[in-house]
Structure 1
Amino acid sequence: MAKKKYYKLTEIFTPSQPANYTFVERSSINKRLKRALNTPGKQLIIYGYSGAGKTTLLTNKLKEEKLDAITTRCMSGMTLSDIVKDAFNQLEVFYVSQKDITKGGKIGGSLSASYFGIKASLSSELNENDKVTAKKAIDLPITPQTLAKFIGESNKCWILEDYHKVRSEDKELLAQIMKVFMDSSVEYPKLKIIAIGAVNTAREVIQYDPEMKNRISEIEVPLMDKNNLQEILSSGESYLNITFPDVVSNKIIAYSSGLPAVTHQLALLVCETNDVTETKRNSRLKLDVKSFDDALDEYLEENSDTFKSIFETATKIVHKRKSENPSEILNAVLISNKENITVHEVKENLKLSDKNYKGNNLKKYLDELTTSDRAEILRYNKDFNSYYFSNPFIKAYCQCALRNNVKTEFNASKLLKEFRETLNKELEIARKTFLEDFNE
């Protein structure tokens, strides 16, 4: 990429878009992704926590490998028909519904008698009096084979964003479509489906079709370590001609809890607080240490609805359970006052209010709190067989909400002071723990 002289702040720190200039290479993942992209017939499942950089990683690697793609963003409630129609709409596939051709005129396509192909590849020679009526192929019955053929003819691959939101009854059919895409790769080497989803997404595909086990490349995008997050900030400093004081960069890194999206958001707010909107054109600017607190307050205000949504999603009651409702389990995690907690420790905390509590299904419910259905409010540490809150912000929010018995009505302004005080304690604990983990 040709380097410009000046950059806008929003080009460098991009919390809501794939990172471009501040993209961080993660060698082991990039190597596996490159191999999978260049292996004909190999379908891809890219999974990991929300905000861990899955889309950024894929976007940059596709650009590097000069591969084109169409992207369908899956949303809750979308059916398989909706997903397929979205792909066809992007391809702009048409068929001839009526032809009135005078002598000397001709029209042809490369796919079949009924379909004459993708709009961009349509070849025709018509007299000025010839009349052709074309309709989108979306109106016709679409089979997996037809879908593979059209996407293959376009020389593209198909990306399914937020694959985990696809309805369970449709995931089995999508697994079958993946198999068809694999078979069709003999004719179209670049044809493949790339599904991006939450933790356990790859397991779901294999669960619906065990035959896909050796035909899918499962690529986990883990949380970023301290050095990766520092590299984002260092790149930003270079492009914007600024310097983050060490205390500020350390806080941003620690409070991000391994999520580059949070690093981008906090860095953006710190720059805005220092009136940095583009590359400084004269001497290098060292940002004010005190500006971090103002940026953090802005972050809390801006994300209060997000915290509320996460808490409500995580604690919603589908089936009421004695001593094992989500809010009761989260409270049992909190009262331990530890960063990581085991199933046994959660069970002992629940027994404080229910001496007869058995906890036979507790692990199942704790695991459920790590899924997208419960907003990934907890994470699981497989090395220590323990659980912890996904980030210090939501942990502090839960403490305030549960302490005030807040369920669906969280008054952000009323509880902001208490939230801030609680958060300060949690952020300091998180900072020490995070730095200790990566200094070992």
Structure 2
Amino acid sequence: MAEKEETYKLEQVFTPSKPADITFVERNEINKRIDRAIRTSGKQIIIYGFSGVGKTSLLSKKLKEFGINYIKTSFITGMTIQDIVTDAFNQLDIYYPIQKEDVETNTVGGNLEASFWILKASLKAETKGDTKYSHKRAVELPITPQTLAKFIGSANLVWVIEDFHKIEESHKKQMAQIMKVFMDSSTEFPNLKIIALGAVNSAREVVQYDSEMRSRISELEVPLMSHDNLRRIIETGERLLNVKFSENVTNRIVTYSSGLPAVTHQLCLLLCELNNIFKTQKKTSRIQFDKFNDAMEEYVEENSDSFKAIFEQATKVVYSRKNENPLDLLGYIITLGKDNFSIPELKESIQKGNVNYKGTNLKKYIDEFTEPSRSEILRFNENHNTYYFSNPFIKAYVQCSLKIDTQKAQKFKQDFKNVLKEELLLAQKVFQEDFGDFDFGDFDDL
């Protein structure tokens, strides 16, 4: 008797807003390093990379692979170190005895620990002998990193901290000290560690505040995903849903994803929805190009608020600077009319309009655009020492925001789509130069 094929829901296969599971793609370039770091006792781990590059998916897969249980704290702007320590402690559900009363002998539960603090897992309703114990949650007491390390270690857990880069400057020294506490506690609890997900330089900042951590932190970069790996996401999805994307649709998805698997997942999800595919098909369904522009339209509409938020964060003025305010710099970059630019090229362009411009801090300010504080709007190519926009959607939004009054919503929306067509065609051209001449279709309906 033939084995029944498993049926998957669309939202199980393409997951733009949560870690990939069944469509997870292994990346050999980082697998060995993260495996080694997890196995090394006392090694604290910081995983960094661009937003949407797959850091959370990679970590989730590895923790599952190693059979590691964990508690997770998501760092939110404005949180203090004490806030995240309290959050972790609260998740452990730890109690302590506050009183005991004389009662008749009547054992209700068993194995009640008489220690000062005990995990909820060890707590059972019990009266024993002539004494009844009452307990209260320990989260209400002062909590130290040493205590937190002890109980996370005792529970055989690791502590995962998301958005590690959002730690304020004034708290970074404390975070370095907490990591050192966990490192020292690994003598008693070999599996104890902190695994932090953050942005570039996260680990270097920890080392900056505590040099002893230099050899005890594993700084692991999750790079932009290669075209081949992005294709593997699509191919896995095709197999699980029994669908087939046409070659030009696949090429476009890969090109416009700009190395971000989250974008690949979202475009595939939208295309399947537009083709009324919501679960594994009994017969192979083919997804042709005629729905691609509709998917792009939906993607732009769905992310318009995100594009706006990214632009506003990228151009926020903290301290006013002549010729070097964020909005000014983005204007100069767009005026260059190049896909990639170097600092000398940008400096020369600015000096054409201001011969007295020195550009002493220009690199520092451009580097800010590659950081989460300015929405990672640019990326830096170390091989060529040049910068470029993180994806064509953001570049198009910046161009339109610099050109027109953003209050004119309808005009802005149409201009954005017009500029986006040009940027997507440029991205397509680069793809064709690298991988051959494919038929991508056109953008008439976008």
Shorter chain as normaliser: what TM range?
over 0.9
Amino acid in structure 2 at the alignment position of 1:415: F
Q: Which amino acid aligns with 2:412?
A: L
Structure 1 match to 2:119: 118
Q: Secondary structure at the match of 1:352?
A: helix
- Does the 8 Å contact 1:226/1:438 carry over to 2? no
TM-score, normalised relative to structure 2: 0.93
| CA separation of 1:231 and 1:118: change in aligned 2, threshold 3 A | same
Which deviations, in whole Å up to 9, do the C-alpha atoms of 1:127-154 show, x marking residues without a partner?
Answer: 5986432111111111121010010111
Please give the per-residue CA displacement for 1:207-242, whole angstroms capped at 9, x wherever unaligned.
Answer: 121211100111000000100100000000000000
Answering whether residue 167 of structure 2 is matched by residue 170 of structure 1, we say no
Question: Is 1:66–2:67 an aligned residue pair?
Answer: yes
The letter for the 1-side match of 2:13 is I
1:98 aligns with 2:95: no
Number of positions where the alignment pairs a residue of Structure 1 with one of Structure 2? 432
Q: Partners in 1 of 2:371 and 2:4 — Cα distance?
A: 40
CA–CA separation in structure 1 for the residues paired with 2:74 and 2:186: 23
Shift, 1:315, TM fit: 0.6
Task: Give 3-state SS (helix, strand or coil) of 2:17's partner.
Answer: coil
Tell me if structure 1 keeps the 8 A contact 2:126–2:132: no
Q: 1:344: which partner in 2?
A: 344
Q: Distance in 2 between matches of 1:230 and 1:210?
A: 42
SS in 2 for 1:318: coil
> Secondary structure of the equivalent of 1:317?
coil
2:134 matched residue in structure 1: 133
Match of 1:426 in 2: 423
CA contact (8 A) 1:274 1:288 kept: no
Alpha-carbon shift at residue 124 of structure 1 (Å): 6.5
Q: Aligned pair in 2 of structure 1 residues 229, 348: CA closer, same or farther (>3 Å)? A: same
Counterpart of 1:293 in structure 2 is: 293
CA distance, structure 1, for counterparts of residue 320 and residue 4 of structure 2: 58
Measured after TM superposition, the shift of residue 349 of structure 1 is 1.9
* CA–CA separation in structure 1 for the residues paired with 2:148 and 2:308: 40
List 4+ stretches of structure 1 deviating above 4 A. Answer: 103-110, 127-130, 434-439
**Does the aligned pair in 2 maintain the 1:304–1:412 contact within 8 Å?**
no
User: Unpaired segments of 5 or more residues in structure 2?
Assistant: 437-446
User: For residues 224 and 101 of structure 1, what CA distance do their matches in structure 2 show?
Assistant: 65
State the alpha-carbon separation in 2 of the partners of residues 10 and 286 from structure 1.
19
| Paired position in structure 2 for 1:78 | 79
In the TM superposition, 1:12-23 aligns within 5 A as 12-23=13-24
What's the CA shift string for 1:181-220, capped at 9, x where partnerless?
Answer: 1111121111100010012212211112121110011100
Which residue identity is paired with 2:224? L
Deviation track 1:353-384 (CA, whole Å, cap 9, x = no partner) reads 32221111100000011111101111111111
Q: CA RMSD in A?
A: 2.0
C-alpha separation in 2, matches of 1:6 and 1:298: 27
Structure 1 residues 191, 435: closer, same or farther in 2, change over 3 A?
farther
Partner of 2:54: 53
What pairs with 1:17-416 in structure 2 (closer than 5 Å)?
17-102=18-103, 104=105, 113-115=115-117, 117-122=118-123, 125-127=126-128, 131-281=132-282, 283-404=283-404, 406=406, 409=407, 411-416=408-413
Mapped to 1, the partners of 2:363 and 2:129 lie a distance apart of 72
How far apart are 1:162 and its partner, in Å? 0.3
Cα distance between partner residues in 1 of 2:4 and 2:52: 27
Distance 1:434 1:372, change over 3 A: farther
In structure 1, the residue matched to 2:444 is: none
Distance 2:192 2:260 in 1: 31
Deviation at 1:416, TM superposition (A): 1.7
SS of 2:98's partner is strand
Report the equivalent of 2:443.
Answer: none
SS of structure 1 residue aligned to 2:73: strand
| Alpha-carbon displacement from aligned partner over 1:249-300 (angstroms, at most 9, x marks no partner) | 111110000000011011111111111111112x201112111100000000
User: Matched residues in 2 for 1:153 and 1:30: separation?
Assistant: 28
Give 1:120 deviation, angstroms: 0.7
Check whether the contact 1:314–1:369 (CA below 8 A) recurs between aligned residues: yes
Q: Distance in 1 between matches of 2:186 and 2:262?
A: 35
Quick check: 2:47–2:220 contact (8 Å CA) kept in 1? yes
Name whichever of 347-356 and 159-168 sits farther off: 347-356
C-alpha separation between the residues in 2 aligned to 1:348 and 1:252?
A: 36
Matched-pair contact (CA < 8 Å) for 1:254–1:435: no
Distance 2:82 2:196 in 1: 17
Deviation at 1:113, TM superposition (A): 3.8
Normalising by structure 1, we get a TM-score of 0.94
Give the letter aligned to residue 369 of structure 2: L
CA distance in 2, matches of 1:14, 1:329: 35
8 Å Cα contact 1:257-1:434 kept in structure 2: no
- State the AA in 1 paired with 2:414: K
Residues 136-184 of structure 1, C-alpha deviations (whole Å, 9 max, x = no match): 1111111121010010111100000000111222221111111111111
Which residue type is aligned with residue 38 of structure 1? R
User: Are 2:407 and 1:417 equivalent residues in the alignment?
Assistant: no
Contact 1:105 1:127 survives alignment (8 Å):
yes
AA in 2 matched with 1:207: Q
Q: Are the counterparts in 1 of residues 104 and 129 from structure 2 also a CA contact under 8 Å?
A: no
Matched position secondary structure for 2:336? coil
- The answer (yes or no) to whether the contact 2:105–2:130 under 8 Å persists in 1 is no
1:34-56 per-position Cα deviation (integer Å, ceiling 9, x unaligned): 11111111100000000000000
Whether the aligned pair in 1 keeps the contact of 2:104 and 2:130 (CA below 8 Å) is no
